[in-house]
Amino acid sequence: MDQDSHCTAERELLEAVSRITTFSTTSPSEEEKNQPKAEISCQVRKENPEKDDLQDSSASLSPNSSMTTKELQEYWRNEKCQYRQVKLLFEIPSTRIVEHRLSKYVMYKIIILQTGSFDSNKSVIERRYSDFEKLHRNLLEEFSEEMEDVTFPKKTLTGNFTEEVINERKLAFKDYLRLLYSMKYIRRSKKFIDFLTRLELQEAYGCLRGGHYTKALEILLEVIGLQERLTRGNPVSIVPTLCAIVVCHKDLENPASAFEYGEKALSRLRVHTSHRYYIPLLETMITLAYELGKDFLSLQEKLEEWKAKKDPIRVFTLKELAVREYVQ
């Protein structure tokens, strides 16, 4: 191909891209039309100032004649990555009124399930108005810009327990959770994840400390599925819960199940050998492997290798670590 033909072909490619760009900026898709406004506003937030600077400098870029084909492809990939379809759905199908001698409040039943597939392991939690209010207040401290267009149901002086007000709040809280989850940096935040899991974890660890391992295990197995869905980008964060499940199974004399969950925890610590749970977990896994007739030598080698590299320090047992979690 001669030089004039090559230039003509390149010019035609760029003109085609320009037409696509014009169309995409003037004719948004139905998904983009329906996307919550707050989600769009939060997409400029980055993990750190350095990335913010890079994003600000690249934000002014648009597909134009100065970009090569490779750069154009990279540009469109980045644009596509700006939007992520919601993976979890939040439903609030029912409520119940709780009355104590000095207080009365409404508990909202929240069902959390995954979209796009049959989710047989849906998670069910209950939260009251004050729990939502605390979450909103905490998120405003850290994500004031992203929360700018997020509305929160206001308190009323009277009528809080009427069917009309309760139904309105059910719909409002459902939309509120959906909107929060649609924002990348909020759904990954510890404050949002704690709102959905902390109360159940506190109850589970309280049962564990009290020796009620069956009840603790029941709660932990319900929570771990939700934690896994919420923390896909940070698998190490669920190691304490996995280890608590190991402790419960071990004390309930279910070594095979304890070993199964211990393997899951170890796989998440493969490159995090300085994690406080790593050595206690290794020691427990060696005991379980020996009891089950499995290969414990490779685990023993890892333990000896770690001890050879580190200065001798006092290490808690796995159970000692577990009972210290969520201590008020």
Neighbour count for residue 111 (Cβ, 10 Å): 16
Confidence of residue 73 (pLDDT cuts 50, 70, 90): low
Whole-angstrom Cα distance, residue 202 to residue 220?
Answer: 10
Predicted local confidence at residue 306, as pLDDT: 87
- Reported as a single tens digit per residue, the pLDDT across 200-257 is 999 999 999 999 999 999 999 999 999 998 998 889 999 999 999 999 999 999 999 9
Predicted local confidence at residue 39, as pLDDT: 40
In the chain, CATH 3.30.1520.10 sits at: 72-188
What single string gives the DSSP state of each residue in 148-203?
TT---PPP-SS-TTSHHHHHHHHHHHHHHHHHHHHSHHHHTSHHHHHHHHHHHHHH
Diameter over CA atoms, the chain = 90
User: Who contacts 40 (Cβ-Cβ below 8 Å, separation ≥6)?
Assistant: none
**Homologous superfamily in CATH for domain 197-327:** Tetratricopeptide repeat domain (1.25.40.10)
CATH number, domain 72-188? 3.30.1520.10
Contact 91, 113 (CB under 8 A): yes
What does the pLDDT average to over 19-36?
Answer: 43
Predicted local confidence at residue 102, as pLDDT: 86
Confidence of residue 319 (pLDDT cuts 50, 70, 90): very high
Predicted local confidence at residue 52, as pLDDT: 39
What percent of the chain stands above pLDDT 90? 58
pLDDT at 36 exceeding the cut of 70: no
Q: Compute CA distances 169 → 122, 123, 134, 199, 297, whole Å.
A: 22, 20, 16, 21, 57
pLDDT at 57 exceeding the cut of 80: no
Whole-angstrom Cα distance, residue 241 to residue 261?
Answer: 10
Predicted local confidence at residue 85, as pLDDT: 47
Whole-angstrom Cα distance, residue 111 to residue 123?
Answer: 6
In the chain, CATH 1.25.40.10 sits at: 197-327
pLDDT at 265 exceeding the cut of 60: yes
pLDDT at 266 exceeding the cut of 60: yes
Closest CA to 86 of 193, 172, 183: 183
What percent of the chain stands above pLDDT 70? 71
pLDDT at 311 exceeding the cut of 90: no
Q: Which of 20-34, 76-90, 117-131, 137-151 shows the highest mean pLDDT? A: 137-151
What does the pLDDT average to over 56-67?
Answer: 44
Confidence of residue 59 (pLDDT cuts 50, 70, 90): very low
Predicted local confidence at residue 115, as pLDDT: 78
Phi, psi of 119 (to 5 degrees): -105, 90
Q: Is 127 helix (H, G, I), strand (E, B) or coil?
A: strand
pLDDT at 167 exceeding the cut of 90: yes
Question: For 288-306, b where at least 16 C-beta lie within 10 A, e where not — what string?
Answer: bbeeeeeebeebbebbeee
Query: What dihedral angle (degrees, nearest 10) is formed by the CA atoms of 75, 77, 83, 87?
Result: -170
Residue bearing tokens 């009355």: 99
Alpha carbon 308 to its chain's center: 36
